[in-house]
Amino acid sequence: MAPGKKVVVFDYGFGNVRSAERAVARTGAAVEITRDLDAALNADGLLVPGVGAFAACMNGLRAARGDWAVGRRLAGGKPVLGICVGMQILFSRGIEHGQESEGLDEWPGTVGPLKADIVPHMGWNTVRAPDDSALFAGLSPEDRFYFVHSYAVHDWELRTTHAAQAAPKVTWATHGRPFVAAVENGPLWATQFHPEKSGDAGARLLTNWIETL
């Protein structure tokens, strides 16, 4: 449990904010749904959800100045967690229906169509997390998480990091081809799946994040 921790779920019109709020509240943290920038900047943790199209989410985030809030928090080393399309928009660009859109460019890489026979990828799947992952601490390779998506990052492109910083930890899942399922990179963490819909495993994962705040 994480009493005393304050988490803001950023409400920019493109996310399952109520589900995220309930899941975070179950960890014992205080949680608020808002697009207030002061609240977003000053919370212990900022959760950025996302559903729908990459371009629409980016437009909504920019309209709410959420891109600025994410950038300011990360510049100050303050934790941010992106979920689903809230993870995808952290990459450099997204390509949907042949249209390219700019992302937040926190990580190099392209979000593109899933390379699988069955799309969307909808349902439960296992993941392959690094042994030293803090996000997946206490979870086993048999634990399953809930995915709903038609696009993903198939290639992790960030190969180097500053000598004083730990290398990013990248978790993978497979649907057709392997794709990035989660990332831990300094204060910026993200999941392609929905921890708020992933039962006990998702609850443990959210608790792991909040305990690091």
Summarised one tens digit per residue, pLDDT across range 97-114 is 889 999 999 999 999 999
Model pLDDT, residue 2: 60
CB atoms within 10 A of CB 95: 15
pLDDT bracket for residue 78 (50, 70, 90): very high
| pLDDT above 90 for 183 | yes
Give the range among 12-16, 105-109, 176-180, 193-197 with minimum mean pLDDT. 12-16
pLDDT at residue 163 above 90?
Answer: no
Domain ranges (residues) in the chain:
6-211
Percent of the chain at pLDDT > 70 equals: 96
Whose structure tokens read 């305990």? 211
The catalytic site residues sit at 84, 194, 196
Reading the block at residue 102, the tokens are: 């700019």
**For domain 6-211, is the CATH number 3.40.50.880?**
yes
Can you give the pTM of this predicted structure?
0.96
In this structure, which long-range contacts are made by residues 136-141, counting pairs with CB atoms below 8 Å and at least 24 apart in sequence? 136/171, 136/182, 136/205, 136/208, 137/208, 138/204, 138/208, 139/201, 139/204, 139/205
Q: Report the Cα–Cα distance between both ends of the chain, in Å, rounded.
A: 12
